[in-house]
Amino acid sequence: MSRHILEEANIHEAIRGKVSNNNKSVVEEAQRAIEENAVVVIGMAQNPHCKKACKVLDKASASYHYLEHGSYLKEWRKRNALKMWSGWPTFPMVFIKGQLIGGASELQTLIKSKEYDQLVTA
C-alpha cells in the first residue's frame, strides 16, 4: 500500500519544525496507548459511531482503552492531526494489536466473523 505524503524535501526548511511538531503530543499519546493496549478506540464526544464501537466491545466483554478528543465544536485540530497520521478519515479509529482496523462498522464485522478474537490473541 502506498500513501501520498508530501516529501520533506518539498517543505521549506524554515517551516519543517512547525510541520513536524503540529499536534505532536496528540499523536504521541495515541502511539503510547496503541503500544500499551491490545485494543484502542480513538473517538470524540457526541459521535454516535464512537459510542457504537464502545458498545460493541462492551457487549463482547472486550477490554479496550478509549481516547477522546473533543466534540464536533472543539479540538478539531487534534483530530485532524490524528487523521493525517493514520490516514483514516473518520472517527472512531480502532486499533487492534497496533493495527488500524477501521471504525465501528469494521469492528462490528470483525467481531461477528470471529476474526476479532484471532487478532486479539495473535
> What's the domain range around 99?
8-121
- Look at the pTM and tell me if it is higher than 0.85: yes
Cell of 1: 500500500
Domain-embedded: residue 91: yes
Domain-embedded: residue 98: yes
CATH number at residue 13: 3.40.30.10
Domain-embedded: residue 18: yes
Task: Please give the C-alpha separations between residue 79 and each of 36, 37, 87, 114, in angstroms, as whole numbers.
Answer: 21, 20, 12, 30
Name the strands in the sheet holding 93-96, side by side, starting at the edge strand that comes first in the sequence: 65-68, 39-43, 93-96, 99-102
Domain-embedded: residue 64: yes
Domain-embedded: residue 2: no
Q: What is the pLDDT of residues 76-108, one digit of tens each?
A: 999 999 999 999 999 999 999 999 999 999 999
SS3 12: coil
Dihedral sign for Cα atoms in the order 25, 29, 30, 35: positive
Q: What is the pLDDT of residues 10-63, one digit of tens each?
A: 999 999 999 999 999 999 999 999 999 999 999 999 999 999 999 999 999 999
Domain-embedded: residue 3: no
Tally of domains in the chain: 1
